Amino acid sequence: MRIENFTTLLALATAGQAAVVRERAAPACTKDAALELFELFDFVAKPFCSSYTKVPSPTVPAFAARWSKVPAKISSACTCLNGRKPTVVVTSASSIAPASTPVATSTPASSSALVSFALVSESPSAVVTATPTPTADACYVTAYSAILAATASCTAITLDGITVPGNSTLDLSKLKTGTKVVFKGKTFWEYFDANYPLIKVGGTNLEITAADGAVLDGNGQSWWDGLGSNGGIAKPNHFIELSKVLGSSSVHDIYIQNYPVHCFSISNSAGIDIYHITLNNSAGYTPNNRSNGLPASHNSDGFDLATTNDTKVRDSVVINQDDCVAVTSGNNVLVTNMYCNGSHGLSIGSIGGKGNNNVTNISFTNSVVLNAENGARIKTNENTTGFISDILFENIRVEKISIYGIDIQQDYLNGGPTGNPTNGVFIQNIVMRNITGTATDKGRDYYILCGSSSCRNITINDVDITGGGVPSLCNFQTRGNFDCDGKWNITTSEETV
């Protein structure tokens, strides 16, 4: 039996349990998925690791949530992060209480150099789980052809090692109320050049999750051409569509890699709790023979929410090439404890020109955005209409931002901003506070470009983004102690919306 820290030993001792302890040197550090993430988010991981063995029930950062019940994995990553070979502590005690469920981590305090990386997925074969006993309400599915019958008859469905044929959707859109679906092993999608969703989910009071070590592999490299949804070969635009998911539903503890274009599309839904998701599109950073020197993956949004209410996206990791999370319509959405790398940031928008263009009561909090084009962002489309109100960005750490650290712009076009903001989308009651970090020499720390009369009551306090080589620019006078690096060019006025 392995004991991972001195807190556990102390607990055993105070409980009167005899333990015979010995130490042995473990093998050299292995670059596995846990260590990759600990190194990527090292300015969060190092403070955590320094206290991991010193405090009872330590708070596990969201990026390590998938290993919260595997303390050996966390201990090894912490030890290796500090440049030492791990030491395994062995005891004769018969049982140890499992690790507690992770809680939100606090905003990191310090930064170190960041580097690009390739995340290594865990091998599904490394985890052995028992085969479920079939019952009247349980289905154990090992072939794609059996999924339709399972969804029609069962409320407990295990999908084990499914290979989905090309031009086929893994259809979970008509699940019975209260259904739980568990992905197991490796789920893989074969190639076909067409636009279709790879997974569809719909129903009430659902739970969609995965067994330890499971991987959903979208085979994106077969479609990637550097263009995403902007052209090139026909490709699946959404990896997973959650539509009309209602009641009290959850999607959690799922590892997804190599999705073709956008990953989660969440629409016409309410009451979903999405957490402990890892989206790993790091392989898409590398150009291929179709991408003309550009990253092969493009438009690889992590989570897109539209016409969705009362929903949480939390405690998750997104490694991609577009928005980490983007909300384009909906009400009462909380996005918190996100770890985003290589993205276009945490976004409201783009707003305008869609079926629903109203966004209200959205909060982005306690998150980290690394190596991204943008940090905290509100973007509205030129010459369109809409309404954005009651938006909070709070406790956001941004690092190595290449375009805008903080961005509010009303001239957005997919091909590039026009520089001519328009008034059709009203923006009001915006709060940004405690957003800190760095931009690159090609980026701006701050950029606010409002229409002449479409912004109102924007308050920005305690922000500190530095390093941008392009001067900041703000044409709207915000409230609070924000100074836009002194680069004001006021051309707008507050109007009652």
DSSP string, 356-404: --EEEEEEEEEEEEES-SEEEEEEEETT--EEEEEEEEEEEEEEEESSE
pLDDT for position 120: 41
Asked if the structure places residue 264 within a domain, the reply is yes
Q: Tell me: do 85 and 154 sit in the same domain.
A: no
Q: What is the C-alpha radius of gyration for the chain, rounded to an integer number of angstroms?
A: 23
Tokens representing residue 216 in the block: 């959903």
In this structure, the dihedral spanned by the alpha carbons of residues 396, 401, 407 and 413, taken in order and rounded to 10 degrees, is -130
Q: Is 380 exposed, middle or buried (0-12, 13-18, 19+ CB in 10 A)?
A: buried
β-bridge partners, 439 = 401
Place of tokens 């979208």: 218
Q: Say which DSSP state 72 is in.
A: H
Q: Tell me: do 371 and 478 sit in the same domain.
A: yes
Asked if the structure places residue 204 within a domain, the reply is yes
pLDDT for position 82: 81
Q: Tell me: do 158 and 305 sit in the same domain.
A: yes
Q: Tell me: do 236 and 369 sit in the same domain.
A: yes
Return d(Cα 259, Cα 35) in angstroms, integer. 23
Q: Helix 33-40 to helix 71-81 angle, to the nearest 10 degrees?
A: 50
Tokens representing residue 332 in the block: 């009462």
Return d(Cα 199, Cα 237) in angstroms, integer. 11
- Among 155, 163, 161, CA closest to 137: 155
What CATH number corresponds to the domain at position 215? Answer: 2.160.20.10
Q: Strands 272-280 and 303-319: what pairing? A: parallel
Q: Tell me: do 230 and 352 sit in the same domain.
A: yes
Strand extents, DSSP E, 77-162: 87-90, 138-141, 156-160
β-bridge partners, 164 = 189
Tokens representing residue 230 in the block: 């902007």
Q: What is the pLDDT of residues 302-350, one digit of tens each?
A: 999 999 999 999 999 999 999 999 999 999 999 999 999 999 999 999 9
The answer to whether 319 and 296 are in contact (CB under 8 A) is no
- Our measurement of the distance from residue 279's CA atom to the centroid of its chain's CA atoms, rounded to an integer in Å, reads 6
Asked if the structure places residue 393 within a domain, the reply is yes
Residue 81's SS3 state is helix
Return d(Cα 263, Cα 385) in angstroms, integer. 27
Can you say whether the dihedral through the CA atoms of 244, 248, 64, 315 is positive or negative?
A: positive
Return d(Cα 318, Cα 311) in angstroms, integer. 18
Angle subtended at Cα 408 by Cα 402 and Cα 413, rounded to the nearest 5 degrees: 75
Asked if the structure places residue 349 within a domain, the reply is yes
Q: Tell me: do 86 and 154 sit in the same domain.
A: no
Asked if the structure places residue 28 within a domain, the reply is yes
pLDDT for position 85: 53
Q: Tell me: do 33 and 162 sit in the same domain.
A: no
- Other Cβ atoms less than 10 A from the Cβ of 486: the count is 8
Residues of the chain predicted below pLDDT 50: 1-24, 86-134, 496-497
pLDDT for position 343: 96
Return d(Cα 49, Cα 23) in angstroms, integer. 20
Asked if the structure places residue 144 within a domain, the reply is no
Asked if the structure places residue 97 within a domain, the reply is no
Name the domain boundary from 40, 57, 90: 90
pLDDT for position 197: 98
Q: Tell me: do 157 and 84 sit in the same domain.
A: no
Q: Tell me: do 209 and 69 sit in the same domain.
A: no
Tell me the residue length of the chain.
497
Question: Residue 108: in which H helix or E strand, if any?
Answer: none
Q: Tell me: do 183 and 49 sit in the same domain.
A: no
Name the domain boundary from 71, 90, 109: 90
Name the domain boundary from 90, 112, 128: 90
Q: How many domains does the chain have?
A: 2
The answer to whether 214 and 124 are in contact (CB under 8 A) is yes
Whole-angstrom CA distances from 91 to 69, 73, 99, 100, 449 are 19, 17, 17, 21, 62
Q: Tell me: do 64 and 203 sit in the same domain.
A: no
Question: Residue 52: in which H helix or E strand, if any?
Answer: helix 42-52
Domain that holds residue 77: 2-90
- Among 372, 367, 320, CA closest to 345: 372
Q: Tell me: do 160 and 66 sit in the same domain.
A: no
pLDDT for position 93: 27
Return d(Cα 222, Cα 218) in angstroms, integer. 9
- Among 97, 84, 108, CA closest to 27: 84
Asked if the structure places residue 113 within a domain, the reply is no
Residues with catalytic function: 344
